[in-house]
Amino acid sequence: MKTIYLFFFSLILLASCNETQPPLQETAEAEAPVAEQAAETQSLPIIEFVWHKKGPDFSEEAFTEAIAQWNGLIDAGDYDMRFASVAMAHNSNENLDFMWAIGWSSMEARNAGWQYWQENQEAQWQEMTSKLLTYSSENAYPFAPAIRRRPDSELFSDTWEQQFAFCNYKDGYSAKDLASFETDYAAWLDEYEVANGPTGYGYLNLTPQFESDSNPDFVWTHLWKNAEEKANGMAAWMAGPLAQVVDQISSCQNYDFSTRRIRG
C-alpha cells in the first residue's frame, strides 16, 4: 500500500496546481486550442503515455526484467521524472498493446528527458529489448492532469484498473453542462460510498498537450483499486440516473487498462 500511496502523492503534487480551479473554469479552459495554450503550459506538470507493441519474445518474466533494466537507465541518466507505470490494454489493437506512463515535472522536463534519452540511452535500450517490445516517440502523448476526485490511496495495492474516456459534446451542450454534471456526480459518489463503504475510485481531467485529429472536448481517466471494485461501481453507475445524463450531453470512446506502478 505504501508504494501506491507514494504514486498518488506524486500525482497529487503534479496535479495540485490545477486542482483549485472551479469545475466550470477548468473545463472551459480545456476547450481552448492546444496551440494557444502551449506557452502557458510549459511549466505545468505532465503525464505522458507512450504506446508500445509486444515483440515476438514477450513474456511477463522478460518484461519484469526489462523494467528493472529501464529503471537502472533512468537512475543513471539525467531526468526530472516523478513516477512511471505500465498500463496493459484489455483490448489490444494493431497500434497498441500497452502504454508506458511517465510523470514529468513539466513539459520542459519532458522534452529534455526525451532529448537525453535519444542521445544517450535509447540505442542501448532498443538493443536490449529488440525482440521484447517496440515503440516510437511519435506515439508519445503528453497531458496536463487535474485531479477531479482524489482516490483513497490507502485502499490501493501495486496494481489498479484504469479507464480513459475521450469525449465530445453533443450538439447544444458545452462545458457549462459538464460542470453541472460534475457537481451531481460528486454527490452521487459520496452517496455511493456512504452506502457501500470507502472506495479507491478517483478520476482526473487530462488536457492534451499535442495536436490531435480527433480534438476531444475533454479527456478523463478513471481509477479503481481492482477489477471487482470497478465492476461494482460501474453496475451501480449504469443503474442510476446520471449515466443517462452524461450520455445525453456527450459521446465518449472508452479504453480499459490494467495498470501497475514501476517507479516512484
**Which range of residues forms the domain containing residue 96?**
2-263
pLDDT at 153: 67
pLDDT at 33: 42
Would you call 180 exposed, middle or buried from its count of C-beta atoms within 10 A (0-12, 13-18, 19+)? Answer: middle
pLDDT above 70: residue 2 = no
pLDDT per residue as tens digits for the range 23-42: 333 333 433 444 444 444 45
Q: Which amino acid is at 26?
A: E
pLDDT above 90: residue 110 = yes
Percent above pLDDT 70 for the chain: 83
CA separation for the pair 152, 146 (Å, rounded): 16
**Any idea what the CATH number is for the domain that residue 18 is in?**
3.30.70.100
pLDDT above 50: residue 174 = yes
Regarding predicted confidence, which is higher, 219 or 8? 219
pLDDT at 170: 98
Regarding predicted confidence, which is higher, 27 or 102? 102
Regarding predicted confidence, which is higher, 137 or 43? 137
Regarding predicted confidence, which is higher, 20 or 140? 140
Number of structural domains the chain divides into: 1
pLDDT per residue as tens digits for the range 184-231: 999 999 999 999 999 999 999 999 999 877 789 999 999 999 999 999
Find the helix or strand (DSSP H, E) in which 179 lies. helix 175-196
pLDDT at 155: 67
Predicted model pTM: 0.85
Across 120-128, average pLDDT: 97
